[in-house]
Amino acid sequence: MDNKATSSSPRIIPRPEHTISRANISEQARKVLYRLHDAGYAAFLVGGGVRDILLGLRPKDFDVATNATPEQVKDLFRNCRLIGRRFRLAHVFFGRDIIEVATFRGHHSQAEHVEDGLMHEGMLLRDNVYGTLEEDAWRRDFSVNALYYNIADFSLVDYTDGMSDLQQQRLRMIGDPMVRCQEDPVRMLRAIRFAAKLGFSLDDSVVHAIEQHRTRLQAVPPARLFDELLKLFLKGHALRTYELLRQYNLLAVLFPAVDHLLKQADAFADQFIRQALINTDQRIAQEKPVNPAFLFAAMLWGPLLHAVNVLRQQKMSPIQAMQVASGDVLEEQAQVIALPKRFRLPIREIWAGQSRLEKRQGRRAHWFMEQPRFRAAYDFLLLRQQAGETGLEEICEWWTHFQTANEHERKQMTQTRRHPSHKPPKLPDTNEA
């Protein structure tokens, strides 16, 4: 940790010199702040809530930092539950809304017991060490996330020059990025996520740390990487995230098979992923749900097609090649990012559904349209056309009309594979499964 952590004086920004108003803070967060303050504890709004208000954005979450221990917080709030093993937190519930309250953290080197600050090969495994406001500020990841709004006098407390970085739209890691990324390699993904969300540039020191430590992500448990991946791609900035992951060679660690195709200049694989992520961002902007299974099916479509082609060259039947390739591609990816079983089957069904959509005679079309994964398979087909795959216009138009046709028209369509002339459909957004 940087020595400044124990020797710096904060910059205090009084209320007239910043743009945060209590009106910008949710009623629930204000209640937590004031109850802590009234009980004699320090109470600060911190993190993304402060950062986003200062940037003119609307925060989705409000986090509170205090010198009260989790047990003391729980004594103040009947609607409180303590969570966490690596670092104990208090969650105060207001219906579906949760205000997270964290006790000021100290540095892990101050742990009185070995189990309080556990390290393994430079990676921090456990971090139950309490400290002061100053220590807490220097323990945070990025300077723009280390601005504290003091409910006592409505001032901002800035130990890490975060306000300057905010104004310069720069994402700078607190302390030595080489050490911080070694302690927790996921910080590299957080850097990408914040850069994509805020439109900020990465400080040169952060870029250098990513270049040196990106392979350390391979030591992160696959289940944790799955959770981080959802944060990366399901926050409304998926396309920019993808571009940054490629720019800093992190995609090679997270999706090695995809990166291999892209480095072979597979233009369609790149365009297909981009279109899927554009649609994902559009759905999130419209507050529509996004199925992670659809997202993974799109990301891995290129490697799947490559694997199928290899097996077909070995004289394997199309159906068998698809079945074997699906299993192989998902298993290989799961070695890096865990794919829960509840998503693996839908992914395979979306892929298998592409060939089923081609079989439209007799009762097959009626049967498939009644299946749970039909809509996801259909949306995936439309995505393929949107991304520029040729030869799909007729089948996309056919299925679009079939879904709205009456029984007589459907019977005629499945007998003749023809349907009344109508304008090509306006392709809807995807991921509706």
- Residue 429 pLDDT > 90, yes or no? no
Is residue 408 assigned to a domain? yes
pLDDT of residue 362: 84
- According to the model, what pLDDT value does residue 421 have? 39
Is a pLDDT exceeding 50 seen at residue 2?
Answer: no
Please report whether residue 316 resides in a domain.
Answer: yes
Q: Is residue 228 part of a domain?
A: no
Q: What is the pLDDT of residue 110?
A: 47
Chain segment 177-189, per-residue pLDDT in tens:
999 999 999 999 9
DSSP H helices, 90-200, are 133-139, 162-167, 177-183, 186-198
Q: d(Cα 370, Cα 377) in Å, to the nearest integer?
A: 12
Q: What is the mean pLDDT of residues 405-420?
A: 78
Question: Are residue 17 and residue 142 in the same domain, yes or no?
Answer: yes
The pLDDT score that the predictor gives to residue 108 is 56
Identify the pLDDT of residue 222.
96
Q: Is residue 143 part of a domain?
A: yes
According to DSSP, the residues that pair with 353 across neighbouring strands are none
pLDDT digits (tens, 9 = 90+) for 216-226: 999 999 999 99
The predicted model gives 192-207 an average pLDDT of: 98
Residue 120 clears pLDDT 70, i.e. is over it = no
- Cα separation of 25 and 211, whole Å? 38
Is residue 339, in this structure, part of any structural domain at all?
A: yes
Least confident of 113-117, 158-162, 171-175, 378-382: 113-117
Same domain for 161 and 299? no
**Which of 147, 169, 191 is where one domain is finished?**
169
Q: How many domains does the chain contain in total?
A: 2
- Pick the range with the lowest mean pLDDT from 105-119, 132-146, 196-210, 359-373: 105-119
Active site residue 141: yes
Residue numbers of the domain that contains 29: 3-169
- Is 281 considered catalytic here? no
Query: Out of 127, 136, 141, 184, which one is annotated catalytic?
Result: 141
151 and 16: one domain? yes
Strand partners, 11: 158
- For residue 227, indicate whether it is catalytic: no
Residue 184, domain member (yes or no): no
Does residue 245 lie in a domain region? Answer: no
Model confidence at 5, in pLDDT bands (50, 70, 90)?
very low
Q: Whose CA is closest to 322, among 275, 360, 355?
A: 355
Residues 164 and 259 in one domain: no
The CATH number covering residue 64 comes to 3.30.460.10
* 208 token code pair: 């250098």
Buried b / exposed e along 331-362 (16+ C-beta atoms within 10 A): eebeebbbbeeebbebbbbbbebbebbeebee
Mean predicted lDDT score pLDDT of the chain: 90
| Cβ atoms of 51 and 19 closer than 8 Å | no
Average pLDDT score over residue span 9-30: 96
The whole-number pLDDT of residue 420 equals 42
In a domain, 404, yes or no: yes
- Which of 63, 127, 203, 429 is an active site residue? 63
Domain closes at, from 106, 140, 169: 169
CATH of the domain at 398: 1.10.3090.10
pLDDT, residue 416, reads: 67
- Dump pLDDT digits (tens) for 321-362: 999 999 999 999 999 999 999 999 999 999 999 999 998 988
Q: According to the model, what pLDDT value does residue 117 have?
A: 45
The Cα–Cα gap between 181 and 86 comes to 17
